[in-house]
Amino acid sequence: MKVIRSQSAGFCWGVERAIDIAAKFANEGRHPVYTDGPLIHNKQMMDKLTQKGIREVGDYQSTTAVEVSHNEEDEPIMVVRAHGISPERRKYLKGLDMEFRDATCPDVGIIAGKIRMHAKKDFSTVIFGDPKHPEVMGLMGYTEGKGHVIQSTEDIDELPKMEKVCLVSQSTMFTHEFAELSNHLKIEYPEAVVIDTICGATKERQTGVVELASGGAEAIVVIGGKHSANTRKLALLAQQQKLPTYHIETWDDLDVEEIKHFETVGVTAGASTPDFIIDDVCKKLEAI
């Protein structure tokens, strides 16, 4: 079987940076290294990190109290994952009796900064994204109580009357949907400030899926966590190319009897998928 591997598949730089920060402390003998929620959306990689002494505490949305247990002689450290957190959560974590290290993706940090700057100028913030995603929940904390999350034109139509409006996006959304929603928002708010905050890595992965389809792929395999927002977006985009799409976490999830009927298969992966999993899938596909 011929396998076309997207050049943008796998870890984005923000996720890789967060892993490097946590792993550096663990490798230096700092134990335990706590992370506020899962450091990345990949069970296999989290298992490897756990073996290094990196422990997930709290919850996925960074809302529950943190329960930790370590010896008095330990030097624990709390690491914030790439998704980022709200100012309130930051204050809470910094109040714990341990060192605090922020591994928020700089791209997400830029979004938070833009929201904060406009909120100080009395803007209401509209965020295109999933209201239950930890990135969006964290960003809402910078809106000074004047934030609204939207996912459709209907959501925009139901927004309360606002004076000044700033529109941003969760970093992993579809670019064409953001453009459509920004145009719709400007019907009611022609002076709205629209800031495209979809990150470069997301755009590269979305472009990569389209290139797989145009490059001869008869089917597309998307590798990544079932709960990963950016991976689910890639799988949906692949389906929109009118090609058979297989969203898997590892090789074991793939229906080999079905996939073997294709001669050329495209492979991409979400931003939290490590290379060792992508390599394994590609190698086994090529062996068919």
SS3 171: coil
99 is catalytic: no
Of the candidates 6, 21, 1, 80, which has an alpha carbon nearest to the alpha carbon of residue 231?
6
Partners of 168 in the β-ladder: 127
Q: How far apart are CA 55 and CA 261, in angstroms?
A: 42
Strand order across the 245-248 sheet = 2-5, 264-269, 219-223, 245-248
* Catalytic residue (one of 135, 158, 180, 249): 135
- CA dihedral (40, 43, 47, 53) positive or negative: positive
Of the candidates 97, 75, 63, 85, which has an alpha carbon nearest to the alpha carbon of residue 26?
75
User: Which residues contact residue 138 at a Cβ distance below 8 angstroms, ignoring those fewer than 6 apart?
Assistant: 62, 83, 84, 85, 86, 89, 108, 112
Residue 93, judged by CB atoms within 10 A of its CB (0-12, 13-18, 19+), counts as: buried
Of the candidates 43, 47, 65, which has an alpha carbon nearest to the alpha carbon of residue 55?
47
Instruction: Give the active site residues.
Output: 135
